[in-house]
């Protein structure tokens, strides 16, 4: 009986982990091949010029943007402003999510989790890029910085 209760306590502890660790499964639809997508080359060029580790996640940024219907430049730009494109990203947190306290199983998981939140969370849902950025970081200069990076990746569409 003691072993059973111990197992139940461990399971309960795992189920009640803090929200800092993402375990969300995100791929419900087949992911397109981005090899011939011009956005991929623009994103890779930007990250290469800045010598950003996020270069290896260029496809994941596009996947998240497409799945969650976000401007494809938004997540990479936030990652650049928050962590220099992964140069300073403890716990796979490219975005400074949850004031930098969030932990993600991988950088790609973090990209998808933040994309999901910007698309589905009550705070961000149905908002345009300016409104999302104003909530993400209310500092007046923040949106200016992120939108400048977005234009460096590619001009407005």
Q: What is the pTM of this model?
A: 0.80
The pLDDT value given to residue 152? 97
Radius of gyration of the chain (CA): 17
Kindly tell me the sign of the dihedral angle through the C-alpha atoms of 119, 73, 18, 105: positive
**Structural domain of 94:** 56-157
Domain harbouring 103, CATH code? 1.10.530.10
Higher pLDDT: 143 or 20? It is 143
Residue 5 belongs to some domain of the structure: no
Query: What are 21-78's pLDDT values in tens digits?
Result: 444 555 455 556 788 899 999 999 999 999 999 999 999 999 999 999 999 999 999 9
Residue 71 CB coordination number (10 Å): 15
* Whole-angstrom distance, CA of residue 157 vs CA of residue 27: 26
Residue 50 belongs to some domain of the structure: no
Instruction: Pick the closest to residue 41 from 25, 61, 15, 26 (CA basis).
Output: 61
The pLDDT value given to residue 15? 37
Number of domains in the chain: 1
* Whole-angstrom distance, CA of residue 13 vs CA of residue 33: 39
Which residues 6+ apart lie within 8 Å of 26 measured at CB? 67, 112, 113, 116
* Whole-angstrom distance, CA of residue 156 vs CA of residue 129: 12
């Amino acid at each position: 009986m003691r072993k059973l209760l111990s197992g139940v306590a461990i399971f309960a502890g795992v189920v009640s982990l803090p929200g800092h660790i993402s375990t969300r499964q995100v791929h419900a639809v087949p992911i397109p091949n981005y090899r011939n997508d011009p956005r991929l080359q623009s994103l890779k060029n930007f990250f290469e010029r800045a010598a950003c580790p996020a270069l290896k996640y260029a496809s994941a940024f596009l996947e998240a943007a497409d799945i969650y219907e976000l401007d494809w430049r938004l997540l990479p730009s936030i990652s650049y402003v928050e962590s220099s494109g992964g140069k300073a990203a403890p716990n796979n947190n490219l975005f400074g999510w949850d004031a930098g306290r969030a932990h993600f199983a991988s950088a790609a998981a973090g990209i998808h989790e933040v994309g999901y939140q910007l698309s589905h969370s009550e705070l961000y849902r149905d908002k345009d890029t300016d409104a999302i950025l104003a909530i993400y970081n209310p500092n007046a200069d923040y949106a200016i910085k992120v939108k400048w990076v977005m234009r460096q990746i590619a001009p407005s569409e």
